[in-house]
Amino acid sequence: MDSIFSPNLSSIPCFKSRFPRTSESGFFTSRNLFSSISFSSSSSRSGSGFSIAAMSNSNYEPKIITGDYGYVLEDVPHLTDYLPHIPTYSNPLQDNPAYSVVKQYFVHVDDTVPQKVVVHKDTPRGIHFRRAGPRQKVYFDSDEVHACIVTCGGLCPGLNTVIREIVCGLYHMYGVKRVLGIGGGYRGFYSRNTIPLTPKFVNDIHKRGGTVLGTSRGGHDTAKIVDSIQDRGINQVYIIGGDGTQKGAAVIFEEIRRRGLKVAVAGIPKTIDNDISVIDRSFGFDTAVEEAQRAINAAHVEAQSIENGIGLVKLMGRYSGFIAMYATLASRDVDCCLIPESPFYLEGEGGLFEYIEKQLKEHGHMVIVIAEGAGQELLAETMQSIQQDASGNKLLLDVGLWISQKIKEHFSNNKLMPINLKYIDPTYMIRAVPSNASDNVYCTLLAQSAVHGAMAGYTGFTSGLVNGRQTYIPFHRITEKQNKVVITDRMWARLLSSTNQPSFWCAKDLIGEKKEEIGKFKTEKEPKDGKCAEAKKEVNSK
């Protein structure tokens, strides 16, 4: 419990006296009240002030609540923000024998979870998110609820488990009987592609890979989607998908609020690449890493069994190399891991070819894991791809085939030792499987948290795990940037020390906090042909 901090805002008299407390969260309900409101408390426990400020970088103005000692709550919207007079009901869970015995089952109204848990004695409290879970009061009568679920973007292990647990959570915890599955992603809203979901229908689906609802990229037409929600009388929308999907969910929420509809919009973050920021990790990631072990094991067996064997495995990871990094760390058979965040070069001193030659001479075989987004800048020198998928994501060139070819050419052109390279591409195999045990539990918590949040009237939020706690995160925080492997962090250092691969950067380049320059340099100009010193000179001259 010690990671949960309760600012007890409700005890601050000025909150009660100056503004009507119309939402459960105790914050203002009218959008215009958010603009530039700032005041101090005369009686807060510490004597320092509270203030509420609005940021206006999009149509939606984030709810930022500040408290003592640098405490900041990045709150999520509530239906009462724009519908101040909707009725409340007692949470039916209080009569549920499974839950009524649990002491303090309902989450305290002021419970929040810190984003940063490593602190110094003088660090400000920093950013917090609202703790997820059931509330004493709900803003929907069970019979009134008509929910829908949609899955968008690429597949991910656990999608069916999340669907199952939303349906069963609504049905068993809240007595909600009407849940509609929207088929084939966002476009299913207006292509009249729906399926009624019952606990019976979803009972076994968690044992299957994929999504029983189907999915798609593209096809997001906000007006048509909200028209369909309105026409069908849907009042809870559960949207499962990655960063693109959550951006789509954010605009759906804004349109719903603009129309003044009593519709809660809840996102559940899905990404096989683990590239969604703020959250600890995404569901299905654990399963994907586990599944990747099978490909790495095969590559190792193949490489070990022949003279100068090289096993090469390409894994998913468009912009973030988490799957490759964790699969490598888990396996211990990998000698080199290449990810999008860490630029590498082939020729010359400290380059990949030199390392491969050394490994083969010393051990007679080696295993390389490469993320699909790694080395794209090197490929772009010889090939051009300007293609995009239906959602606008850039289509990548096949780095696995390219690097296989380059390695073979290098060893044959330079008349080095004969090599035997076996290329394994398990791309879709690691995401088309059912989720493992730990992901199943995680999916259940995410789904139940989303259900509790929507029933409690929260909206425009993503349900996510932060420091091991379920939270509600505002959409803009999830979508504003992608989660990436930080190559100057300890985890990447652990990987380098486990594989003994070259870092492809001179140690001295990394010393002196050159992180920003490295990021900038990585996109502008890659170090090539072992020109570490030249690269450093260029970075320093910028």
Ligand X SMILES: Nc1ncnc2c1ncn2[C@@H]1O[C@H](COP(=O)(O)OP(=O)(O)O)[C@@H](O)[C@H]1O
State the catalytic residue, choosing from 75, 273, 333, 439.
273
Closer by beta carbon to ligand FBP, 92 or else 218: 218
Binder among 114, 133, 154, 400 for ligand FBP (CB under 6 A): 154
Q: Choose the one of ligand X, ligand FBP, Mg ion, none that binds residue 186, judging by a C-beta under 5 to 8 angstroms depending on kind.
A: ligand X
Binder among 135, 164, 300, 318 for ligand FBP (CB under 6 A): 318
Does the annotation mark 75 as catalytic?
Answer: no
**Cα 198 to Cα 180: distance, rounded to the nearest angstrom:** 9
Of 16-45, binders to ligand FBP (CB under 6 A) are none
Q: Which residues contact 508 (CB under 8 A, 6 or more apart)?
A: 536
Q: Choose the one of Mg ion, ligand X, ligand FBP, none that binds residue 248, judging by a C-beta under 5 to 8 angstroms depending on kind.
A: ligand X
Residue 469 assigned to a binding site:
no
CA angle 51-117-40, nearest 5°?
A: 10
Residues β-bridged to residue 269: 241
CA diameter of the chain: 84
Q: Which of 324, 344, 343, 321 shows the shortest CA–CA distance to 334?
A: 324
By CB under 6 A, tell whether 400 contacts ligand FBP: no
Closer by beta carbon to Mg ion, 243 or else 290: 243
Torsion of CA 289, 294, 300, 306, to 10 degrees: -150
Measuring CA to CA, how many Å separate 344 from each of 109, 340, 422, 526, 530? Answer: 50, 9, 21, 8, 9
Residue 389 assigned to a binding site:
no
Q: Which stretch binds ligand FBP (CB under 6 A): 15-23, 189-197, 265-273, 462-470?
A: 265-273
Binders of ligand FBP: how many residues, by CB under 6 A?
11
**Cα 360 to Cα 86: distance, rounded to the nearest angstrom:** 70
Q: Choose the one of ligand X, ligand FBP, Mg ion, none that binds residue 206, judging by a C-beta under 5 to 8 angstroms depending on kind.
A: none
Residue 245 assigned to a binding site:
yes
Amino acid identity of 107? V
* DSSP character string of 18-53: HS---STT-S--SGGGGTT-B---SS-TTS---EEE
By CB under 6 A, tell whether 341 contacts ligand FBP: no
Show the DSSP H helices in 308-394 as ranges: 322-331, 352-363, 376-380
x/- site string to ligand FBP, residues 353 to 382, per CB under 6 A? -------------------x----------
Closer by beta carbon to ligand X, 211 or else 271: 271
**Cα 336 to Cα 323: distance, rounded to the nearest angstrom:** 14
Catalytic positions are 273
For ligand FBP, the binding residues (CB under 6 A) are 153-154, 242, 271-273, 316-318, 372, 389
Annotated binding site: 154, 217-218, 242-245, 271-273, 316-318, 372, 428-431
Q: Which residues bind ligand X (CB under 6 A)?
A: 152-154, 185-186, 217-220, 241-245, 247-248, 251, 271, 391, 393
